[in-house]
């Protein structure tokens, strides 16, 4: 009887070995398994676009004129006026510049409204026996026979949503795919090269 139990335990350990090895691996964080082109810093707390180096040029274009203004123009204002106006003007310009840089870094390093990707395409909905996929609007089909567009009822209004082949999902209204970041972005406006990030939600 003991021999049979050991045989079963040995069989189970062979079949469960892969599961146990998979469980033993440390879990991956979302930013480690990210399929987009984004760059992450500080353990995934900051998310930048793939062209984050352009942010350095933007910071230089902001900071260098302020340094020149504080070093050249402010002393001339101090000599031209007797009441320390040059020092106040330089202080205010430096404070506003620091404020602008903080807002620039917050805009560049935050999530612009990325819609998470699906790991597999959605299942085609039950469209009835009488209708055919060729009757769907758009005339072409997404992956796995999915229509490129479908009508969705949002707050009592019929809205046409498009299928994204890269993200494998039907995009919400006002959502668009950014070809630079390789993500679908909610309320997408544009990809800003000066910020190095998408401008969206």
Question: Could you list the active site residues?
Answer: 192
Q: H-helix or E-strand containing 152?
A: strand 149-154
- Per-residue b/e over 68-79, b at no fewer than 16 CB within 10 Å? eebeeebeeebe
Compute CA 60 distance to the chain's CA centroid, rounded to the nearest angstrom.
25
Cα dihedral sign, 183-184-185-191: positive
| Residues present in the chain in total | 201
76 backbone φψ class: left, alpha, beta (φ>0; ψ -120 to 50):
alpha
Pairwise CA distance, residues 174 & 201, whole Å: 10
Of 177, 194, 196, 173, nearest to 185 by C-alpha is 177
Nearest to 47 by CA among 28, 32, 63: 32
């Amino acid at each position: 009887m003991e021999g049979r139990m050991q045989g079963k335990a040995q069989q189970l350990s062979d079949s469960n070995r892969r599961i146990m090895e998979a469980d033993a691996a440390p879990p991956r964080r979302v930013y480690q398994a990210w399929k987009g082109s984004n760059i992450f810093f500080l353990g995934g707390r900051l998310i930048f676009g793939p062209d984050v180096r352009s942010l350095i040029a933007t910071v230089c274009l902001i900071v260098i004129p302020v340094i020149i203004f504080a070093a050249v123009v402010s002393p001339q204002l101090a000599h031209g006026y007797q009441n320390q106006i040059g020092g106040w003007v330089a202080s205010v310009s430096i404070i506003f510049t620091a404020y602008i840089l903080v807002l620039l870094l917050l805009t560049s390093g935050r999530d612009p409204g990325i819609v998470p990707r699906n790991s597999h395409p959605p299942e085609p909905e039950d469209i009835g026996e009488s209708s055919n996929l060729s009757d769907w609007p758009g005339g072409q089909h997404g992956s796995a026979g999915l229509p490129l567009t479908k009508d969705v009822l949002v707050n009592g209004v019929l809205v046409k949503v498009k299928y994204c082949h890269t993200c494998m999902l039907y995009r919400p209204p006002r959502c668009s795919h950014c070809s630079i970041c390789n993500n679908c972005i909610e309320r997408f406006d544009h990809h800003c090269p000066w910020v190095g990030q998408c401008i969206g939600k």
